[in-house]
Amino acid sequence: MSMRTRLGAGLAVLTVVLVLFALWLTVDRPVRANAGDGEDYASPLEVLLSPDGARLYVLCQQSEEVRVLDAASYAVIRNIAVGRVPRGFSLSPDGARLFVTNSWDDTLSIIDTNVLAVVATWPVGAEPSSVIEDRAGKRLFVANRISNDVAVLDAQTGVEEKRLLAGRGSSYLTLSPDGTKLYATHIYPNPSPHRTQPESEITVIDVARAVVVNRIPLHAIAGVFHIAFSADGRLGVVAELHPKNLVTLAHLEHGGAFEDTLTVFGADVGKTVEVPLDELERYASQPFGVAIAPDKSRIYITSGGSEMVTVVDVARLLRFIHAHAAPFVQDLSASANYVVTRIPVGHNPRGLTLTRDGRRLFVANRLDDTISVIDTRTNRVTSTITLDGSKTISALRRGEQTFYTARYSFQGQIGCSSCHIDSTFDGLTWNLEPDGFGRSIVDNKLLEGVKDTEPYKWTGTNPNIPTECGPRTEKYFWRSENYDNLTLADLATYIRSLPLRPNRWRLASGELTPAQERGKAIFERAVDKFKKPIPEENRCSYCHSGPKGTSQKIFDVGTRKPNDNTGLLKAPMLTNIALTAPYLHDGSARSLEEIWTVYNPDDKHGRTNDLTKDELNDLIEYLRSR
Amino acid sequence: MMKKFFMIAVLLLAGTTAFGAPTAAAAPQVPAPHVPKMPLFRFENFTTANGLPNDHVYAVLVDGDRIWAGTDNGLAVYEHHAWKTYTTADGLAHRAVLSLALDKRTGDVWAGTMGGLSRISGGRIDSFTQLNSGLSNDVIYSISIEGENVWIATAAGACRLDLHSNQWSLYNERNTPMVEIWSYAVSATPTKVYYGIWGSGVLEYDQKTGRWDKYDDPDGENEIVLFKDQGLIHEIVTSVSYVDNVLWAATYFGDSHYDGRYWHNFLTKDSGLPSNFTNFIKGVDAKRAWFCTDKGLAYYDGVNWAVYTPSLKDGTPQMTVRDAAGKVTPITVTTALAHNYILGIDFQGDDIWVATAKGLSHGIRQQQQGHKEPSS
């Protein structure tokens, strides 16, 4: 074969490879939540042990698997693929079935633990995040984050019986030790009037009747995570965030932005009491997982931002509570009365579980791909299980670690994810110092899909993500140290990588419903109902143009309040807008409807006052599909 | 418009001419053997004197052992022999609660008020208004829950809230045969949904086809009946109840029974109705129903009638029984409903709970010797 022939053949092969690669790129493949760097990270989120203690099940969010390890040797027994972005799992009471919630494809994977394989996949509600089977094996309860409810399913068929109203962002479920009550928490605060303290709840469900029987109020709390009970059922503990969003978020050294707290309740306490985990110069940022020792001597809490496990002495905690009049949540000296120690673990520790004898504590370090094994007698990490997968730390992963850690802020108080819970938002409005004390209240926005939607900030004064996340964040939030250039670049890479989650209001076919079609016509109209032309800048589709619903330009839509420095605002994205109440730059509109029924008297925010109520409903149905 | 003012005036002023509420007393006497045996009750009445937040009770709902009362000044719930009242401070949409419905699957209670729709779930109240949601109007006269759908009758059309998708669907003159949009009543089942429209007859929604149908008074808006049982008795429909594939419809000018093929109408002149002015109707089954009128509470067992009321003259307890031949026999009773102006009823086993313009009444079923009435 001549050189030319070989060259031609080589070029042909190369062409074929390139064409195939191009075709591969165009295939509509599922997008993983944080994928994009080609690394096969596991991202362990939750852990649990089989009833006999022989197996350790690890829920890996990024590799979308349940990994089954030998709980003694930590050897891998099996990796079981599940659905998209799994978020929660639990075992049936006999340990024979493992239920996994797949939060991005709205399904439940049923794993037979005898054969270690998925034997069924059931459709459930929007963004299922936690699942529990009742003791009788009759019903499954599934917390759906987007639909804000707890679905009740037939445990044998998966057929949904009903949905119970839970808190906003319904996410975590725990069964009481006697199996009679189910406790549900939620990550976003329930709707409340503008600039009032956030209100959350623990939803209490009677398991036998499958109805809500109580809602334990959690005042001033926004962001409620796992609950644990003592074996005797007399002590309940929940990990939560206590934001200080009603005061100006000034220097962290002047009071901070959050308290990281527990609420304890039950017969041992006698009432519901919130207790701080933080101490001066040492915060327990972003508490998430919680476990109580079998003998009720200790409480263990993971702090995702502070990368540690806090150990609380129960007896001392109860003595403190009974001896002091609440509230003492802002007393940074309080935790010294009951915190035994703080155990450093890996990046972004989340779920944790204790062995039946309480001797070993397993902690899932989500952004390390490791499991810390803690000896509870010495309170030291005795071994670290490294999960299979890439050992290269990519820019994306470094960026995600930076996003979740609190190490950059003064005293380690907060991280990006304190407000952007699970890289989303927090449902709160904040008063940021650079705009002036009491000036320019701002609603916290969703980060997903922000890539290429510059400028940033409600006023559009930050030209790009590095500016938004760099000097501004360092100066006004962290008050501590600057990111080095590489860290900032990695953080921006991570934020730019955040994909949009599936839109639950859009039909699977991609078509619009009749109401959405009617709403789209209103969104795009150029003439009002009186046949008068609508000026270009007063059409929905002009300011909210493009695939993400933003023209990226600045407008005055008549929403300026007396305490706003300007009425000029960047047209925000519309993607997944149904999730992100409240609305408008200051969060004054509690619903999409209020944007137009209350805050658009002069038709500056689009020509809408000629619409009937059903037409406005159609417009909103269309917006929800964006 | 005049009709609306008329109705509001009726609702608000009716109780002002009330007689004093009788209190509980001894059991009633047993009627003579030749008189049809109709349900006997001993009435215990609740007013502001014993815990109700207001005597105007627009609606009552039985929820197991709990009794909910929609009053002119809050939503009251009776449990463990004590009343608790939810107000706007608790999140209730408005103090005046006009209608109530129970989601039997979840235990949630839905309250229609003069200022929006409230959902009471595990003690938490979420309210929907025409400003903060897709609700068409804040004045809500009736609610009915079927599966995941909350069907609502408002002063500006009908609504459906899909609890799965949180989507609101509005029904009015633009997409239904509704002529007037003042929707006064709704009764929803998995197969059919019926709306009673003030001045626009009865609307029927077929759940399978998604189509609307309409039933009108053949005599139009005239207060005459040319041919009895020709169709709906009147266009001003105040209440509907669909049970056992039979529609019971109440108007201010008589009541109707429709089995899908034949209409049968009830007027004072040819039935045991104490008044043609009926605020509320509740079917027990295809044959039996309760009629809440301005002149007392009536029960029809398919043949005979019983009427319960305090005397319109002096407030003394009264009960009458009308047999198939039209013979009316007074029954001696010692207790009566809180008032003759009846606005609602619900059942608790054999007992009844009755909303009146001057209090809430608990009718405690009394056994007649040697005879047991069919359960309601």
DSSP class per residue in A446-495: --TT-TT--SBSTT--B-SHHHHHTHHHIIIII-S-PPPHHHHHHHHHHH
CB B315 within 8 A of CB B17: no
First to last CA, chain B: 38
Let me know if B214 is exposed, middle or buried by CB neighbors in 10 A (0-12, 13-18, 19+).
middle
The model's pLDDT over A104-158, given as tens digits with 9 standing for 90+, comes to 999 999 999 999 999 999 999 999 999 999 999 999 999 999 999 999 999 999 9
CA-based nearest residue to B74, from B105, B39, B118: B118
Contact: B134, A215; criterion CB under 8 Å: no
Contact: A594, B136; criterion CB under 8 Å: no
* Token representation of residue A334: 């309080």
β-sheet bridge partners, residue A164: A150
Residue A9, pLDDT score:
60
- Residue in chain B nearest A211 by alpha carbon: B106
Taken as a whole, chain B contains a residue count of 376
- Read off the DSSP letter of residue A72: T
Q: Could you give the CA distance from residue A298 to residue A307 in angstroms, rounded to a whole number?
A: 19
Beta strands in A230-378 (DSSP E): 236-243, 248-249, 258-265, 273-276, 287-292, 298-303, 308-313, 339-344, 349-354, 360-365, 370-375
Contact: B122, A214; criterion CB under 8 Å: yes
CB A215 within 8 A of CB A206: no
Q: CB A24: neighbour CB atoms within 10 A? A: 9
* Token representation of residue A467: 């500016």
Residue B11, pLDDT score:
43
B132 chain-A contacts, CB cut-off 8 A: 590-591, 593-594, 597
pLDDT band for position A254 (50/70/90)? confident
Tell me the CB-side half-sphere exposure of residue A477, using CA atoms within 13 A: 24
Which of A127, A165, A516 would best serve as a mutation to test chain B binding (most B beta carbons within 10 A)?
A165
Which of B168, B169, B172 would best serve as a mutation to test chain A binding (most A beta carbons within 10 A)?
B168
The model's pLDDT over B203-235, given as tens digits with 9 standing for 90+, comes to 999 999 999 999 999 888 677 777 888 899 999
* B34 has a chain A CB within 8 A of its CB: no
Q: Could you give the CA distance from residue A135 to residue A140 in angstroms, rounded to a whole number?
A: 10
Contact: A597, B123; criterion CB under 8 Å: no
Q: pTM score, two decimals?
A: 0.91
pLDDT band for position A11 (50/70/90)? low
CB A361 within 8 A of CB A392: no
The larger pLDDT score, comparing residue A408 to residue B300, is at B300
The larger pLDDT score, comparing residue A170 to residue A9, is at A170
B146 chain-A contacts, CB cut-off 8 A: none
The amino acid at A231: A
Residue A343, pLDDT score:
98
Taken as a whole, chain A contains a residue count of 626
**Per residue of chain B (376 residues), what is the pLDDT tens digit?**
344 444 444 444 343 333 333 344 344 555 566 899 999 999 999 999 999 999 999 999 999 999 999 999 999 999 999 999 999 999 999 999 999 999 999 999 999 999 999 999 999 999 999 999 999 999 999 999 999 999 999 999 999 999 999 999 999 999 999 999 999 999 999 999 999 999 999 999 999 999 999 999 988 867 777 788 889 999 999 999 999 999 999 999 999 999 999 999 999 999 999 999 999 999 999 999 999 999 999 999 999 999 999 998 999 999 999 999 999 999 999 999 999 999 999 999 999 999 999 999 999 999 875 444 444 4
Is A522 found in the same domain as A610? yes
Give A598→chain B minimum CA distance, Å: 7
Question: Where is average pLDDT lowest: A129-138, A171-180, A406-415, B322-331?
Answer: A406-415
Q: Could you give the CA distance from residue B1 to residue B155 in angstroms, rounded to a whole number?
A: 11
B108 chain-A contacts, CB cut-off 8 A: 165, 212
- Read off the DSSP letter of residue A279: B
Of B119, B124, B132, the CB nearest to A590: B132
B145 chain-A contacts, CB cut-off 8 A: none
Number of CB pairs, chain A paired with chain B, less than 8 A apart: 73
How far, in whole angstroms, is CA A488 from its chain's centroid? Answer: 22
Residue B14, pLDDT score:
41
DSSP readout, A228-257? EE-TTSS-EEEEEEEE-TTSEE--GGGT-S
The amino acid at A478: W
Give A597→chain B minimum CA distance, Å: 5
Percent with pLDDT over 70 in chain A: 93
The model's pLDDT over A208-233, given as tens digits with 9 standing for 90+, comes to 999 999 999 999 999 999 999 999 99
* B132 has a chain A CB within 8 A of its CB: yes
3-class SS of residue B157: strand
- On average, the pLDDT of chain A sits at 92
CB A338 within 8 A of CB A310: no
Residue B31, pLDDT score:
55
The torsion of the CA quartet B192, B196, B201, B206, rounded to 10 degrees, works out to: -10
CB A415 within 8 A of CB A228: no
3-class SS of residue A322: helix
Question: Where is average pLDDT lowest: A277-281, A304-308, A574-578?
Answer: A277-281
The model's pLDDT over B51-78, given as tens digits with 9 standing for 90+, comes to 999 999 999 999 999 999 999 999 999 9
3-class SS of residue A123: strand
Residue A552 counted as domain residue:
yes
Residue A363 counted as domain residue:
no
Residue A411 counted as domain residue:
yes
* Token representation of residue A5: 């022939």
Is A474 found in the same domain as A544? no
- Read off the DSSP letter of residue A292: E
B88 chain-A contacts, CB cut-off 8 A: none
CA–CA distances in Å: residue B105 to residues A151, A212, A240, B145, B227: 12, 11, 31, 10, 43
CA–CA distances in Å: residue A481 to residues A12, A305, A473: 54, 16, 10
Residue A616 counted as domain residue:
yes
Q: Could you give the CA distance from residue A567 to residue A565 in angstroms, rounded to a whole number?
A: 7
Domain ranges of chain B: 53-315
The amino acid at A464: N
Contact: A147, B168; criterion CB under 8 Å: no
3-class SS of residue A613: helix
Contact: B131, A164; criterion CB under 8 Å: no
A616 chain-B contacts, CB cut-off 8 A: 134
Contact: B132, A214; criterion CB under 8 Å: no
Structural domain containing residue A532? 514-624
Residue A330, pLDDT score:
85
Residue B3, pLDDT score:
44
CA–CA distances in Å: residue A135 to residues A56, A96, A212, A214: 21, 13, 18, 20
Instruction: Say whether the peptide bond before residue A582 is cis (omega within 30 degrees of 0).
Output: yes
Which of A613, A616, A623, A625 would best serve as a mutation to test chain B binding (most B beta carbons within 10 A)?
A613
The CA-CA-CA angle for residues B332, B335, B338, to 5°, reads 135
CA-based nearest residue to A522, from A502, A506, A538, A505: A538
Let me know if A73 is exposed, middle or buried by CB neighbors in 10 A (0-12, 13-18, 19+).
exposed
CATH assignment at residue A548: 1.10.760.10
Instruction: Say whether the peptide bond before residue A327 is cis (omega within 30 degrees of 0).
Output: yes
Contact: A215, B174; criterion CB under 8 Å: no
Contact: A598, B131; criterion CB under 8 Å: yes
CB B241 within 8 A of CB B234: no
* B208 has a chain A CB within 8 A of its CB: no
B123 chain-A contacts, CB cut-off 8 A: 214-215
CB A96 within 8 A of CB A52: no
Residue B219, pLDDT score:
85
Contact: B136, A614; criterion CB under 8 Å: yes
DSSP readout, A149-183? EEEEEETTT--EEEEEE--TTEEEEEE-TTSSEEE
In chain A, how many domains are there? 2
- Read off the DSSP letter of residue A589: B
* Token representation of residue B299: 């029960």
CA-based nearest residue to A44, from A16, A86, A94: A86
**Residue written as tokens 């760099």?**
A470
Residue A240, pLDDT score:
98
Contact: B170, A614; criterion CB under 8 Å: yes
Q: At what angle do helices A485-497 and A395-404 cross, to 10 degrees?
A: 90
Residue A356 counted as domain residue:
no
The amino acid at A278: D
Phi-psi region for residue B226, left (φ > 0), alpha (ψ -120 to 50) or beta? alpha
Contact: B123, A203; criterion CB under 8 Å: no
- Res A24 pLDDT > 50: no
Q: Could you give the CA distance from residue A136 to residue A145 in angstroms, rounded to a whole number?
A: 25
Is A528 found in the same domain as A493? no
DSSP readout, A392-431? ---HHHHHHHHHH--TTSGGG---HHHHSGGGS--S-EEE
Strand order in the sheet with A199-206: A170-175, A181-186, A199-206, A211-219
Residue A473, pLDDT score:
76
Q: What's the CATH fold of domain B53-315? A: Methylamine Dehydrogenase; Chain H (2.130.10)
The CA-CA-CA angle for residues A388, A392, A393, to 5°, reads 110
Contact: B130, A597; criterion CB under 8 Å: yes
pLDDT band for position A383 (50/70/90)? very high
Q: Could you give the CA distance from residue A157 to residue A169 in angstroms, rounded to a whole number?
A: 26
Is A486 found in the same domain as A410? yes
Q: Which residues of A202-224 are buried (b: 16+ CB within 10 A; e: fewer)?
A: bbbbebeebbbebbbebebbbbb
